[in-house]
Structure 1
Amino acid sequence: MSSTTPQDVLSTEKMNLRAALIERIGGYMTAHAIGVAADLALADLIGTGSRTSDELAAETRTHEPSLRRLLRTLVAVGVAAEPEPGRFTLTDIGSQLRSDSPDSLRNFARMFCHPIFLTSWSSLHHSVTTGERAFDHVYGSGIYDWLAQHGETSALFNEAMSEESRISAGQLAAAYDFPATGTVVDLGGGDGTLLTAILGARPGLRGIVFDSPSGVAEAPATLSKAGLADRCEVRAGDFFQSVPGGGDLYIIKSVFQDWGDGEARAILRTCRAHMPASATLLIVGTVLPETADTSAPVAFFTDINMMVMTGGRERTESEFRAMLEETGFTVRSVGHGQAGPLSVIQAVPATAA
């Protein structure tokens, strides 16, 4: 007979629940640990093999006992493994921190664990109580104005956004039925990662990458490296004022989350005013479920991150539909999860519906 009593079971359940909450409370500790690992390039140094904490400390010029404690914490959260005392390898999750990985998120980790994010998040209470951006409260300006004055951090931000886009760009290029010919305009296209994937899959297409001057700073190099410079223009501008005309397909990926409803509608009205009546608009981004659940926590973290950092927000399908209809568009389809974790909303000018 089992000696386990109902009280023992209840006690175990309570302890498990307690541990689960404590782990979530300590989430910021995980972020700091991964951020330091990314800054030290530990994943690059470990690579596909294994390294001791002594070796890693010597190469990173860090305090070995402290570095070993950091590495053990990375093991505890599934980023690394310790097959024998003091020797460490990477897990599949941790391998994404390698700079040479096609799925690299090293710069993404460095950016989102950067002091400007962590300090802004420490003022989350300010955003919740006032509705104001915590970043502005801490730094005295909007994040994009701040980045424009801090070139090194701006470059890291652009690299992080490129890493985040790489996988979804490939999935979108493979999943969406892009036309064989015509011109694709990527609004807020950054360094051209998305158009590189699309034009690479459709040799008859031409493209235009459109973003702010700092946003498109790396686009010529990206397109040139991919051999696409002759098929894709790079234009700098302000999509609140004007966007390139004459396109056949306009894409807005991971842009609306940065803005509040008023600004998002202004962007759509600019698009509607400048795009041909025959053109199609694709909005690629997160579409929240109408009621919150536990299936996609990253989407809700992104939503609150936008509240803290930019004053933007993620939206539900019904909110997107209403916003598009108010600005002169008709939604033709919503492909949930069509680009990996991101969804694809296809809309056309209302007169073309």
Structure 2
Amino acid sequence: MTSAPRDTSELSAQLSEHMNGYLYTACLYTVTKAGIADHLSQGPRTAAELGEKTGLHGPHLHRVLRYLATREVFREDEHGRFALTPMAELLRTDIPGSLHDPFLMLGEDLYWKPLARMYDTVRTGHTVFDDIFGTGFFAHLQTVPETASVFNAGAAGFSRLWNEHIATSYDFPHGARIIDIGGGTGSLLREILTTHPHTTGTLYDQQSVIAEHQLDTPDTTGRWNVATGDFFDSVPTGADYYILKSVLHDWSDTDCLRILKSVREAVHDNSKLLVVDPVIPPGNQPHASKTIDAMMMVIHDGKERTQAEFEDVLGKGGFTVTRILQTPSLMSIVECVPA
């Protein structure tokens, strides 16, 4: 049984709203950068009051907040005061699961400028990031430390949404030695070491990233170290478990094979590789992996992958997929052994 056709005017209004999606993003970035949610944590305020606290123009801020209130981000009362909603609470900096840092990251020119040229990416089959910034994404971050810090904080903010689920979904045995390859500031490795107190770990990434690591906590004392390098060239040897979280999705299949070659040369016969990324499900239903996939091709020439695509690229890289564990989060754990 098919549903009745929808009115054309309703579809036009819905499509028009979709076309203005970048406006929604711009408004979210504006209030996040200004810290509006933190200022409202003590109670409702008018846009004029918020403008005085943030240095923003009150009347213009009112128009932004009024628009966001139509999306259930903030709520305006009959006195013109704005208050937090459950969604707006997530923009605060002082709560678990805060999206403040990820939103600041996504509002950077790193993302805006390439997305504005989505057509060119789809036309050529390659990101135009290099054309805009003169080099690739991660090489560019090496030249702009302030932007790199925003990116590191944003990536860590997203990771905090998933790390506990990843750490508790995999049973690392007593005495396991773990290397987190391209592990950023170490929030996942810290969670794993905390959850599995009889394991040890190495955080492996570039020096500029390692410098901001978050591993030094009472629960992990004496069980971690750091190593710096480029995973395209080599990775440390001697571990029982190698983790690639949110790494392969940044790269094309060709580049992934270069990374996997380094890992394959480092592993021993009983090592396991854990690839932690979303796995794209079949069908037309919405799924965050499909959203992220469109972002990856614009920014990195990367991609999210289906199960078949993971099996293909990992097989070519010298690994056999033994199982895929779906965590309670967006992330899955693709477990592999050396082929």
TM over 0.5: yes
- Per-residue Cα deviation, 1:258-295 (whole angstroms, up to 9, x for no partner): 1000110111121111111111111111111245x133
- Per-residue Cα deviation, 1:228-283 (whole angstroms, up to 9, x for no partner): 25211111111111111111111110111110001101111211111111111111
Instruction: Find the counterpart in structure 2 of residue 238 from structure 1.
Output: 230
What displacement does 1:115 show? 2.1
Instruction: Find the counterpart in structure 2 of residue 316 from structure 1.
Output: 306
Residues 255-270 of structure 1 aligned to structure 2 (within 5 Å): 255-270=247-262
Instruction: Find the counterpart in structure 2 of residue 295 from structure 1.
Output: 286
The structure-2 alpha-carbon separation of the partners of 1:51 and 1:287, relative to structure 1 and needing over 3 Å to count, comes to same
Aligned partner of 1:294: which letter?
Answer: Q
- Per-residue Cα deviation, 1:30-72 (whole angstroms, up to 9, x for no partner): 1000001111011111115322222111101121111111111
Match of 2:227, SS? strand
Instruction: Find the counterpart in structure 2 of residue 329 from structure 1.
Output: 319
1:307 to 297, 303, 309: 297
Q: Tell me if 1:348 matches 2:321.
A: no
Instruction: Find the counterpart in structure 1 of residue 118 from structure 2.
Output: 124
Q: Is the 8 A contact 2:194 2:219 kept in 1?
A: no
Q: Is the 8 A contact 1:250 1:280 kept in 2?
A: yes
TM-score by length of 1: 0.91
2:195 to 178, 201, 213: 201
* Greater shift in the superposed pair: 131-140 or 203-212: 131-140
What displacement does 1:15 show? 2.3
Aligned partner of 2:334: which letter?
Answer: I
Count of aligned residue pairs for this structure pair: 336
Aligned-residue identity in percent = 35
1:57 to 48, 51, 61: 51
Q: Tell me if 1:271 matches 2:263.
A: yes
Match of 1:138, SS? helix
Q: Is the 8 A contact 1:302 1:314 kept in 2?
A: yes
- Per-residue Cα deviation, 1:126-146 (whole angstroms, up to 9, x for no partner): 111111212112122111111
The structure-2 alpha-carbon separation of the partners of 1:226 and 1:106, relative to structure 1 and needing over 3 Å to count, comes to farther
Instruction: Find the counterpart in structure 1 of residue 174 from structure 2.
Output: 180
- Distance in 2 of aligned mates of 1:26 and 1:127: 21
- Per-residue Cα deviation, 1:281-313 (whole angstroms, up to 9, x for no partner): 11111111245x1331x3222112111111111
- Distance in 1 of aligned mates of 2:302 and 2:218: 32
Match of 1:21, SS? helix
Match of 2:303, SS? coil
Match of 1:266, SS? helix
RMSD between aligned residues: 1.6
- Distance in 2 of aligned mates of 1:156 and 1:339: 27
Aligned partner of 1:215: which letter?
Answer: V
- Distance in 1 of aligned mates of 2:322 and 2:202: 24
The structure-2 alpha-carbon separation of the partners of 1:239 and 1:339, relative to structure 1 and needing over 3 Å to count, comes to farther
Residues 143-158 of structure 1 aligned to structure 2 (within 5 Å): 143-158=137-152
Q: Is the 8 A contact 1:111 1:160 kept in 2?
A: yes
2:206 to 201, 208, 212: 212
Aligned partner of 1:113: which letter?
Answer: G
- Distance in 2 of aligned mates of 1:176 and 1:40: 39
* Greater shift in the superposed pair: 149-158 or 264-273: 264-273
- Per-residue Cα deviation, 1:191-227 (whole angstroms, up to 9, x for no partner): 01001111111111110001112222211xx112455
